Structure 1
Amino acid sequence: MADGPLEIFEQFRTGLLAGAFAPAEELWAEDAVVEFPYAPEGRPQQFTGRAEFLAFAATAQAERPVCFEDFQVLALRDAADPGVLIAEYRLTGPATAGGRRGTAVFVLLLRVRDGRIVHWREYQDLIAPRV
C-alpha cells in the first residue's frame, strides 16, 4: 500500500531533523505543485513540477543553511479527502551561518496521490517573534 499524507508528513519531519531541506525526491509526483502564499518579497510563491521545486530547494539550502533541532507538531487535521492532511508545526534551530536561533510556525496543506506529493501549500508565520 502506498504511503498516505500522514506517513509522508512523518518522513518530511524525520528528514528535516536530519538536515534535508525538503522531502526526498522520490516522495514528489513529477507534476507536483508547491505553493508558499506568504513567501517573502523576491521569492517565488509557486513552483510547478518536482524538478523546479527541488532545484529551488537545493539553492535555498545552499544560500541560507539552517539546522533544525526541534520539530513540534502543534495540530494534525484530517480532511474529507483521505489523501489530504492539514498540519501545524513549529521549527526551532540555529542558522548555520552566524548561529542565530530562530523559531517559526507553519501550516501545511498536504495532498498525496499514489504515495506521492501532488500539492504542498505552506503558510509560514514570518512576523512572529524569534528566539
Structure 2
Amino acid sequence: MPETLSPPDLYRRSLRHLLDKDIASWVGLWAEHRVMEFPFAPPGWPGRLEGREAVAAYMRDYPEHIDLHDFPGLRIHETTDPATIVAEMRGVGRLVATGSPFDMTYIAVVTVQDGKFTSYRDYWNPLAVHEPGAAFMTDPTRSSAR
C-alpha cells in the first residue's frame, strides 16, 4: 500500500522536490482532477489551473527560470479542517536569466485528500520578481514557486 502523508508532511515533501528540481515528482503529489489558483495573478497570467496536466504544463520549465536554494522560515499552520493547512515561507535562490537574487514571501492555503494535493491557493506576488530580461516574467504561461 502506498504511503499516505499528512498535509504538513506532504507539503514539506513538495518543497524538497522543488529544491531538488524534480518537477515530475512534485506534480506526482497532485490528485488527478484538482485545482491550483493564483489569487494575485496579474492580467494575462493564469489565475486558475484545473487538473494535474495543467499544473504539470505550468511547472514544466520552472527550474530553467528560478534556481531555488532554500525555503527559510517555513511555518505550517493546521486549521480546524484536518485536510487543510496554511503555509508561510520565503523562497530564496536566483533568477536564472539574469543571475539576480530571488527572495519571495509566500502564503499557501492547501487542501489534501488521500495524501495528494486537491486544492492549492498560491498567494505570491509575481510583480515582485519582474526584471527586464527575466524570461520567467515575460511569458505569462510560466510558473510560480509553489
- d(CA) in 1 for partners of 2:70 and 2:97? 18
1:79 aligned partner, one-letter code: T
Size of the aligned set, in residue pairs, is: 128
| 1:19 equivalent among 15, 18, 21 | 21
Report the equivalent of 1:51.
53
Report the equivalent of 2:87.
87
1:120 counterpart = 2:120: yes
- d(CA) in 1 for partners of 2:117 and 2:65? 24
Q: Relative to structure 1, is the Cα distance of residues 18 and 129 closer, same or farther in structure 2, using a 3 angstrom cutoff?
A: closer
Q: Percent identity?
A: 28
- d(CA) in 1 for partners of 2:104 and 2:112? 24
Superimposed CA distance per residue, residues 31-87 of structure 1 (whole angstroms, 9 cap, x where no aligned partner): 11100011133210001111111112115x27x511111211343211111111100
Between 119-128 and 77-86, report the one with greater CA deviation.
119-128
Q: CA deviation at 1:126?
A: 4.2
User: 1:26-105 counterparts in 2 under 5 A?
Assistant: 26-59=28-61, 61=62, 65-105=65-105
- d(CA) in 1 for partners of 2:110 and 2:42? 21
- d(CA) in 1 for partners of 2:122 and 2:46? 13
- Structure 2: where are the runs of 5+ without partners? 131-146
TM (norm. structure 2) is 0.77
Q: RMSD between aligned alpha carbons?
A: 2.3
Give the number of the structure whose residues are more often strand, by fraction. Answer: 1
2:14 aligned partner, one-letter code: F
Q: CA deviation at 1:23?
A: 5.8
In the alignment, is the contact (CA less than 8 A) between 2:18 and 2:26 conserved in 1?
A: no
Q: CA deviation at 1:96?
A: 1.6
Q: Runs in 1 of length 4+ with deviation above 3 angstroms?
A: 20-23, 125-130
